[in-house]
């Protein structure tokens, strides 16, 4: 069985990132997986459930806070730049390469929701990544937001993003959007009040550092985010994609389109039946099943 995680730190650009390292039992260098969270996540949110299963099956797991988030450094706080987050993944890999207890030739990457898209990009651009797993991934930020908000809501979101950009230019002051709204129709990046209830519970039980807000500039960058074009470059990277049936947060049909674009046969699509996006956060039994599948995938391909 794995031991309790160690707190470790490493540099990513000018910032110091804090991470939890779960090591398997034994003295031999092990394969490892780096894990990063989705929109507004901190390292304690959901991810340790996956990390423990990996470590219990002989694979080290590193969960890190992105720059500007959680216990990592950087200003402005709660700023989500997807390309900087992907760079944080790459520096997490570089850190793991320096450790004597890690086999640097056997490194994988895991992501969920927004970071599910990140690992599709990462698997395409970083040859050190030997296998990936994308859980309910965001693959097209613009289309995702249009579908989630609807026509009128999307107009309001675009107007708010533009207003925040002008304010930042004129005053240097950041505007913050809630992760999710209190009530349907309130301005938030992800327009799902039921998700707010779920994350409030997760904050209380798992992740007190979760803040539930991000800079408006983060939403602006989300609207320009595209992981789909990288899917066709994943021929050499075994890819497991897990989607929730009926997911209307990151839209399972968009994820399936990305999966279809991955060439070759070293890929697997797993659909969680009779589920939603939030099933992979709320249902510990289902999360446990998916974590077991994830562990088997990395055991096979690392």
pLDDT digit string, tens, across residues 163-197: 999 999 999 999 999 999 999 999 999 999 999 99
pLDDT of residue 219: 98
For residue 68, give the nearest of 181, 214, 167 by alpha carbon.
214
pLDDT of residue 134: 98
Calculate the average pLDDT of the chain.
97
pLDDT confidence tier of residue 21, bands split at 50, 70 and 90: very high
pLDDT of residue 177: 98
pLDDT of residue 115: 98
What are the pLDDT digits (tens) for 130-152? 999 999 999 999 999 999 999 99
DSSP code string of 252-266: HHHHHHHHHHS-SS-
- Assess contact for 72 and 63: CB atoms under 8 A: no
3-state helix, strand, coil in the chain (%, to 5): 40, 20, 35
What are the pLDDT digits (tens) for 201-239? 999 999 999 999 999 999 999 999 999 999 999 999 999
Complete domains list, the chain, with CATH: 6-149+227-301 (3.40.50.1820)
Q: How far, CA to CA in Å, does 107 sit from each of 67, 208, 209, 236?
A: 21, 29, 28, 14
Cis peptide preceding 76, ω within 30 of 0? yes
Instruction: Give residue 271's Cα distance to chain centre.
Output: 18
Which two structure tokens, joined as six digits, stand for 241? 């994609």
What are the pLDDT digits (tens) for 67-91? 999 999 999 999 999 999 999 999 9
Distance CA(68)–CA(266), nearest Å, equals 35
How would you classify the pairing of strands 239-244 and 213-215? Answer: unpaired
Backbone φ, ψ for residue 106 (5° rounding): -135, 70
Instruction: Give residue 159's Cα distance to chain centre.
Output: 27
In 3-state terms, what secondary structure has residue 294?
Answer: helix
pLDDT confidence tier of residue 1, bands split at 50, 70 and 90: low
Does residue 2 register a pLDDT over 60? no
Q: How far, CA to CA in Å, does 106 sit from each of 59, 76, 96, 294?
A: 10, 34, 10, 15
């Amino acid at each position: 069985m794995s031991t309790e995680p160690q707190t470790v730190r490493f540099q990513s650009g000018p910032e110091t990132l804090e991470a939890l390292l779960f090591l398997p039992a034994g003295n031999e260098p092990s394969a490892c997986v780096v894990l990063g969270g989705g929109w507004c996540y901190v390292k304690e949110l959901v991810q340790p459930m996956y990390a423990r299963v990996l470590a219990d099956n002989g694979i080290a797991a590193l969960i890190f806070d992105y720059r500007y988030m959680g216990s990592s450094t950087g200003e402005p706080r709660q700023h989500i730049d997807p390309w900087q987050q992907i760079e944080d993944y790459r520096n997490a890999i570089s850190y793991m390469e320096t450790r004597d207890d890690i086999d640097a030739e056997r490194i994988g990457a895991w992501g969920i929701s927004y970071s599910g898209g990140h690992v599709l990009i990462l698997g395409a651009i970083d040859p050190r990544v030997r296998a990936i797993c994308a859980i309910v991934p965001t693959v097209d930020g613009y289309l995702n937001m249009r579908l989630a908000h609807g026509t009128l809501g999307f107009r309001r979101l675009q107007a708010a993003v533009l207003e925040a950009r002008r304010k930042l230019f004129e005053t240097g002051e950041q505007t913050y959007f809630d992760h999710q709204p209190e009530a349907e129709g309130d301005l938030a990046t992800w327009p799902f009040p039921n998700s707010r209830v779920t994350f409030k519970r997760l904050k209380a039980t798992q992740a007190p550092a979760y803040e539930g807000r991000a800079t408006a500039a983060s939403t602006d960058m989300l609207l320009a985010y595209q992981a789909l074009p990288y899917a066709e470059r994943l021929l050499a990277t075994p890819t497991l994609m897990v989607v929730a049936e009926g997911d209307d947060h990151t839209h399972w049909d968009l994820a399936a389109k990305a999966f279809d674009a991955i060439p070759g046969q070293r890929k697997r699509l797993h659909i969680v039946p009779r589920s939603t996006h939030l099933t992979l956060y709320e249902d510990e039994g289902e999360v446990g099943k998916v974590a077991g599948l994830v562990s088997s995938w990395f055991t096979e391909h690392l």
